[in-house]
């Protein structure tokens, strides 16, 4: 595959960032709460060089689409919007960004709840840090990436995805306090591994429903007289809220407690799995962000000996689910559950994302993915 020609300098840099799967702590980050993501092996790569024609060019290898844009003007839709948004955020912070040629290749599936947009934003900002010699640390990169997502993708997101893309690795859980940004890398429970299955169900209206949940949480906090729902430790304090707000807030309060319980000393696979099952029930019943496909897949996974627990992951409204199970059983269980689920041809067809189908695929080394820079 060859990229369309563009006026790119021959000196280019290549950077990348991973997608993430969140194990516990869903819809808590925009409430200043706790999260527990793990980076996945699938990564997004950005090659960056200077442009000589005074314009910005962004090329997506996945889409075979080339977009020229002016970051000061109307930003294009699609992948180039995230690119233009990051450039604008840098400029807002007084960082001069010259016209660029950018090439993007992503292994992170889009719309599966595995943070493909954060992987793109962080990979791009890393590439620009390298190309332009910017003095940015990994937390600033995550913060700028989040600002781009809020400002230009229109999602009132928290900072989990961007912190995971910038600071997590595939071998640890990133226990993050999204209020203070204090964090610790922790091992998975002993002997356990992860399964991630993409339900194939597209996340329809995800942005508007996500922003509605954000607004409901803010309103609940306002009625309770606290800055954020993070400041409520006990669900009994929610009794006076209107019914829907009470359920939304109960999810957030109990989910924060589940993350804290999961990172306590000595939590084994079965105990961790029970917390994941409870998280799914709370997301389904109180937060109302699950869909039947995710409920079915989680039930099928839980029915397998060796699986400790399963839940939807990411924002919900479609996308993927994650299970914790005995490590050596993860690959065969993931394959078998997916085959059986897909036997019903009326369903959107599911696919296994973890364990990664081809061992070592995208295992973290930037690959020479792009053809000539031109």
Q: Which of 163, 253, 315, 334 binds ligand GLA (CB under 6 A)?
A: 315
Tokens standing for residue 231: 């400041």
Q: Which stretch binds ligand GLA (CB under 6 A): 22-30, 72-80, 92-100, 349-357?
A: 22-30
Q: Which of 157, 238, 291, 330 binds ligand GLA (CB under 6 A)?
A: 157
Q: List the one residue out of 245, 252, 279 whose CA is nearest residue 31.
A: 252
Query: By the 8 A CB rule, do 322 and 196 touch?
Result: yes
If binding is defined by CB under 6 A, does position 111 make contact with ligand GLA?
no
If binding is defined by CB under 6 A, does position 314 make contact with ligand GLA?
yes
Residue owning tokens 């900002």: 125
Q: List the one residue out of 224, 35, 223, 180 whose CA is nearest residue 118.
A: 35
Q: Which of 14, 23, 24, 26 binds ligand GLA (CB under 6 A)?
A: 26
Tell the burial category of 76 from Cβ atoms under 10 Å away from its Cβ (0-12, 13-18, 19+): middle
Nearer to ligand GLA, 102 or 112 (CB): 112
Tell the burial category of 327 from Cβ atoms under 10 Å away from its Cβ (0-12, 13-18, 19+): middle
Is residue 58 within a helix (H) or strand (E), and if so which, with residue range?
strand 56-60
Among positions 192-251, residues that touch ligand GLA (CB under 6 A) are: none
Q: Which of 3, 29, 87, 165 binds ligand GLA (CB under 6 A)?
A: 29
Residue 190 — φ and ψ, nearest 5°?
-55, 135
Q: Which of 18, 21, 27, 75 binds ligand GLA (CB under 6 A)?
A: 27
- Active site (annotated) includes residue 77: no
Nearer to ligand GLA, 157 or 195 (CB): 157
User: What is the pairing mode between strands 13-22 and 37-50?
Assistant: antiparallel
Q: Which of 85, 158, 319, 355 binds ligand GLA (CB under 6 A)?
A: 158
If binding is defined by CB under 6 A, does position 30 make contact with ligand GLA?
yes
The 10 Å Cβ neighbour count of residue 97 is 17
Provide the strand spans (E) within 152-279: 173-177, 183-186, 192-198
Shortest CB 20 distance to ligand GLA, Å: 9
Shortest CB 92 distance to ligand GLA, Å: 20
Tell me which of 32, 161, 177, 198 is the catalytic residue. 161
Which residues are identified as catalytic? 161
Q: Contact residues for ligand GLA (CB under 6 A)?
A: 26-27, 29-30, 115, 157-158, 160-161, 314-315
């Amino acid at each position: 595959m060859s990229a369309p020609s563009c006026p790119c300098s021959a000196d280019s840099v290549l950077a990348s960032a991973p997608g993430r799967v969140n194990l516990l702590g869903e819809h808590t980050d925009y409430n200043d709460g706790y999260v527990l993501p793990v980076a996945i092996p699938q990564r997004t790569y950005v090659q960056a060089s200077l442009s000589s024609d005074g314009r910005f060019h962004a090329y997506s290898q996945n889409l075979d689409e080339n977009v020229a844009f002016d970051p000061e003007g109307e930003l294009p839709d699609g992948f180039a919007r995230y690119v233009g948004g990051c450039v604008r955020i840098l400029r807002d912070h007084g960082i001069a960004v010259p016209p660029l040629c950018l090439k993007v290749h992503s292994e992170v599936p889009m719309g599966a709840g595995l943070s493909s947009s954060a992987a793109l934003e962080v990979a791009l900002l890393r590439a620009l840090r390298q190309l332009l010699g910017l003095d940015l640390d990994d937390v600033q990169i995550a913060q700028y990436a989040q600002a781009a997502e809020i400002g230009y993708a229109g999602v009132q997101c928290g900072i989990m995805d961007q912190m995971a893309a910038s600071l997590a690795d595939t071998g640890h859980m990133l226990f993050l306090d999204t209020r203070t940004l204090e964090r610790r890398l922790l091992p998975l429970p002993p002997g356990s591994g992860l399964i991630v299955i993409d339900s194939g169900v597209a996340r329809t209206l995800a942005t508007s429903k996500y922003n509605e949940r954000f607004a409901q949480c803010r309103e609940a906090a306002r009625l309770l007289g606290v800055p954020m729902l993070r400041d409520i430790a006990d669900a009994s304090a929610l009794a006076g809220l209107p019914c829907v707000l009470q359920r939304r807030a109960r999810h957030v309060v109990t989910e924060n407690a589940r993350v804290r319980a999961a990172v306590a000393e000595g939590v084994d696979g079965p105990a961790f799995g029970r917390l994941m099952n409870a998280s799914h029930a709370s997301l389904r019943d109180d937060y109302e962000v699950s869909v039947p496909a995710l409920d079915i897949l989680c039930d099928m996974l839980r029915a397998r000996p060796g699986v400790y627990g399963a839940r939807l992951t990411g924002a919900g409204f479609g996308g993927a689910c994650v299970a914790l199970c005995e490590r050596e059983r993860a690959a065969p269980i993931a394959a078998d559950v997916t085959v059986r689920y897909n036997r019903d041809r009326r369903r959107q067809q599911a696919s296994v994302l973890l364990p990664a189908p081809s061992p070592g695929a995208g295992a973290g080394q930037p690959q020479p993915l792009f053809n000539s820079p031109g």
